[in-house]
Amino acid sequence: MKMVDYKKCPKYWNRNTDFMEIKRNILLNPGPATTTDTVKYAQVVPDICPREKEFGLLTESVCRDLVKIAGGDEENYVCILFGGSGTAGMDAVINSVTPPGKKILIINNGAYGKRMVEIAKAYAVAPVELTFDQATLPRVKDVESALRNDPEIACVAIVHHETTTGLLNPVREIGEMAKQYDKVFIVDAISSFAGIPADIKKYDIDFMMSTSNKCIQGMAGVCFVICDKHELEKLKDYPKRSFYLDLYSQYDFFLKSGQMQFTPPVQTIYALRRAIDEFLQEGAENRYERYRKSWETLRNGITEMGFRILTNPTEESNLLITILYPEDPDFDFEIMHDRLYEKGFTIYPGKVGKLKSFRLAVLGAVDHHDINNFLCVFKDILKEMRVRGLTIEN
């Protein structure tokens, strides 16, 4: 396909940028994340058939830049888009990449590792589940033992940032182990892509999946998989397990036609294009530092108030923390949630079994000033609730 500068496409660039202000909510849930008004308004475009060449060029530019953000290059890596949530990307990889008659080793230390196991079972793909406590990092030596003891394992899959707890799993070390045993390495970077450094080459990743509505700061509705071309080509002869979420079919169709197989979320892709531009303008290091500073402000503020955090800060992602309920009968998460929501802040319940907890994340277009504002409002609400055992007087 001839390369054309998508910036010359008038439907994307020649628009008035002076829009009315939209009410800004601070989303402290682990996605979808807070977005800029410019990303929101990037969806307001003239109607276009997604089979038009212009839209294909836009989509191609999105894929090309996502590969670059992941640390890949056009010669060896390709990005495949699907309409759907991050789980659709997980589904596409798990069902497409595991060779027929082989097994996939799935490292499970949270709800999203567990979800990959459930996806594998749904397609009758044989998972070898390596389970760890949800507040514990996976042990590389256990991964090696599993690979050494079962030669039928063809793939290793892990979640990079496990948003069940906020742990950052040792992806680089496990990638090295996978390659020592000549296994395909799959990484769920759904909530870490563009928010935490993770070089697809340096980490030995063959298939990296993510989504438009987390750290890249776009709108919900697009997932993507960045693939090593050599490993992707091997899928050509695998039997299809899914009609819609088949990686190779989606790749091959776009390669030949410049179009996605099925109707894409057109406006969401325009918003993703804008979100990528804003990432490139901010710069990767600046975004990582903004997130880190927001996380540090949040964690310090929460601990100063007397809350206990589930995980060790040296093992956390700098994106999310899991906070244990205070031992006070007047503490009520639902009341707290609703009052914060009225003030423009969204918080999220915990997901660690029966453990009473809630989660706060710093993904999206927020900074440490927003977090300081949240902490002030949070203190006031806790005072109104008369929650005791916390340091919230000032």
Q: What are the φ and ψ backbone dihedral angles of 98, each rounded to 5 degrees?
A: -70, 120
The residues facing 34 across adjacent strands are 364
* 391 confidence band (pLDDT: 50, 70, 90): low
- Indicate if the pLDDT at residue 204 is higher than 80: yes
What gap in Å lies between CA 47 and CA 51, rounded to an integer? Answer: 12
Over the chain, what is the mean pLDDT?
93
Q: Note whether 225 and 354 are same-domain residues.
A: no
Q: Note whether 297 and 264 are same-domain residues.
A: no
Q: Note whether 188 and 259 are same-domain residues.
A: yes
What gap in Å lies between CA 101 and CA 90, rounded to an integer? Answer: 20
Q: Note whether 152 and 301 are same-domain residues.
A: no
Give tens-digit pLDDT for 309-344. 999 999 999 999 999 999 888 899 999 999 999 999
So what's the pLDDT on residue 18?
56
Indicate whether this model's pTM tops 0.85.
yes
Give tens-digit pLDDT for 234-266. 999 999 999 999 999 999 999 999 999 999 999
Q: Domains in the chain: how many in total?
A: 2
The neighbour count for residue 29, using CB atoms within 10 Å, is: 18
What gap in Å lies between CA 275 and CA 251, rounded to an integer? Answer: 23
CATH of the domain at 314: 3.90.1150.10
So what's the pLDDT on residue 137?
97
Q: Note whether 264 and 363 are same-domain residues.
A: no
Give tens-digit pLDDT for 213-228. 999 999 999 999 999 9
So what's the pLDDT on residue 390?
72
* 388 confidence band (pLDDT: 50, 70, 90): confident
Strand segments (E) across the chain: 26-27, 77-83, 103-108, 126-131, 153-159, 161-162, 167-168, 184-188, 207-211, 222-228, 320-324, 345-346, 348-349, 357-361
Q: Note whether 219 and 118 are same-domain residues.
A: yes
At which of 282, 304, 331 does a domain end?
A: 282
What gap in Å lies between CA 17 and CA 47, rounded to an integer? Answer: 18
DSSP string, 128-181: EEEE--TTSPPPHHHHHHHHHH-TTEEEEEEESEETTTTEE--HHHHHHHHHHT
